[in-house]
Amino acid sequence: MARWDIFCSVVDNYGDIGVTWRLARQLVAEQGHAVRLWVDELPAFVRLCPGASSGADCQYHAGVEVRRWSQPFPSVEPADVVIEAFACQLPTTYIAAMSGDAVKRLWLNLEYLSAEDWVAGCHALPSPQAGGLQKFFFFPGFTQGTGGLLRETDLLARRRAFQADPMAQQAFLEGLGVARDPGARLVSLFAYENAGLANWLDAMAGDSRATQLLVPQGKVLVDLQRWLGETQLIPGDQRRCGSLHVQVLPFVAQDDYDRLLWCCDFNAVRGEDSFVRAQWAGRPLLWHIYPQEEGAHWDKLEAFLALYCVDLSPRAAAAQAELWRAWNAGRGMNDAWSEALECWPELSGHAERWCARQAAQADLATALEQFYRNWLSYAA
């Protein structure tokens, strides 16, 4: 057993802490390590782990020691493996402690997920640091030569069992206050603010088939309220417009969000954590990528589409790509959604095949563990 420190500076509410919390839990449960998770915004963590406290400096959940990352930083002994998630800056006193003794420690910068070609070439590269230290860049990814994706060992077995059990799905949805409409397409929506939502809602409201749209609390509620002509929607609120039935859900813990994705026929997700979890659901999905300055996010979006669409027919690949482009551009969702529905059987089958292809690669926690073992052998 090794001691691991994971540092998380919350930038986008839930994406950063979502990834690091999942990783910390998996390193404890499957690799048997002792993990401290340092978080600078505990209220965001509490949303993902409802039993947590936003006021505690130290608390334990799922075997993980969760610590408040405060200023000044407390005097602690650095761990054997140190992960700075998403280029956050380690406390200067912590770095000084790492360089102040003869103990060899593995320092990793866990990078954001990207499908761009250059990722494999930069994965695991070292970077010399002051004080004789060395830091390695660790890139999650979708191809060989990267760090893979977060996936618990039993995740897909649990997902398949749940999706094969209608009673389990019904009980879960009822626990959220959802009664499934017979024959309706069940869709989940978790997104940033998006000017294209109104156009998509118009399309679903005017569709010949009913759509039941489940919307967990989040930023996109502002646009939903505007479309409905309302000032405030709260969990439990339901509205009907044409063929569209909208229901607002509470923000749920990570394991329950997984189940929500597994229940749905189609999942609109955002950022990084929910994006990966939607792929493990084996259902068609729509990704709202985190917008970056100067449109840098478009390169990431197109790089993923190039990988994801490679085995689709030309029409289905075009439908998939145009739907994602329309959503991220905030316009043209009506026509894009209509074309995607025309390709629904192929897109549904492809989502499951993509999931299986990604599952054939080592998951992120396993890749980190193997990298650590290899580093130990080299360092010795």
Reduce the DSSP state of residue 165 to 3 states and report it: coil
Is-cis flag, bond preceding 72, omega within 30? Answer: yes
**Which residues are catalytic, by number?**
16, 272
Q: DSSP for 102-147, please give it.
A: S---EEEEEPPP---THHHHHTT-EEE-GGG-EEEEE---SSTTS-
Which ranges of the chain does DSSP label H, i.e. alpha helix? 15-29, 42-48, 92-99, 118-122, 155-163, 166-175, 197-205, 221-228, 254-263, 273-280, 296-308, 314-329, 333-342, 344-359, 364-379
Nearest to residue 159, comparing CAs of 66, 309, 267?
Answer: 267
| Structure tokens, 169 | 């799905």
Phi-psi category of 229—alpha, beta or left, where left has phi over 0 and alpha has psi -120 to 50? left
Phi-psi category of 145—alpha, beta or left, where left has phi over 0 and alpha has psi -120 to 50? left
CB 264 within 8 A of CB 285: no
Residue with tokens 């999650």: 140
Burial environment of residue 61 by CB neighbours within 10 A (0 to 12, 13 to 18, 19 or more): middle
